[in-house]
Amino acid sequence: GQQLNQSPQSMFIQEGEDVSMNCTSSSIFNTWLWYKQDPGEGPVLLIALYKAGELTSNGRLTAQFGITRKDSFLNISASIPSDVGIYFCAGLYNQGGKLIFGQGTELSVKP
């Protein structure tokens, strides 16, 4: 079945540093989504990407939909302590289809 490989698995960074994480798949997706999950909560959508090559920003977050439709990356600039959490990529092949989630990248930010 479809699988997403997300890396790195975890990151420990200093406040103010930039962060980059990515997601790759052996299958193509037509929609890429990035979620953040805080401890004890459900995932919250950060950015949605609908077209190959698309680059979208949401505040300090920037995400890109890979041109091959098999990958996506998320950048966080000037990290702050509240960026701590687990970031998930998710792919969707067609409308009404099910979301496939990556394994998550756990981000820790040291003040």
Partner 1 sequence: EAGVAQSPRYKIIEKRQSVAFWCNPISGHATLYWYQQILGQGPKLLIQFQNNGVVDDSQLPKDRFSAERLKGVDSTLKIQPAKLEDSAVYLCASSLWGGGEETQYFGPGTRLLVL
Give contact residues for partner 1 (rule: CB under 8 A).
Answer: 4, 6, 30-31, 40-45, 48, 50, 88, 90, 92, 94-99, 101-104
**In residues, how long is the chain?**
111
Give least dist CB 111 to partner 1, A.
Answer: 26
Q: For residues 64 and 88, which CB has a smaller minimum distance to partner 1 in the complex?
A: 88
* 85 exposure class (CB count in 10 Å sphere: 0-12, 13-18, 19+): buried
| 105-110 vs 85-92, strand pairing mode | antiparallel
Give least dist CB 4 to partner 1, A.
Answer: 8
Q: For residues 4 and 19, which CB has a smaller minimum distance to partner 1 in the complex?
A: 4
Give least dist CB 61 to partner 1, A.
Answer: 16
Whether 72 contacts 23, CB under 8 Å:
yes
Q: For residues 77 and 101, which CB has a smaller minimum distance to partner 1 in the complex?
A: 101
Give least dist CB 82 to partner 1, A.
Answer: 18
Mark 38-69 as b/e (b = at least 16 C-beta within 10 Å). Answer: eeeeebeebbbbeebebebeeeebbbbbbeeb
At 104, list the tokens: 């998550």
Q: For residues 33 and 76, which CB has a smaller minimum distance to partner 1 in the complex?
A: 33
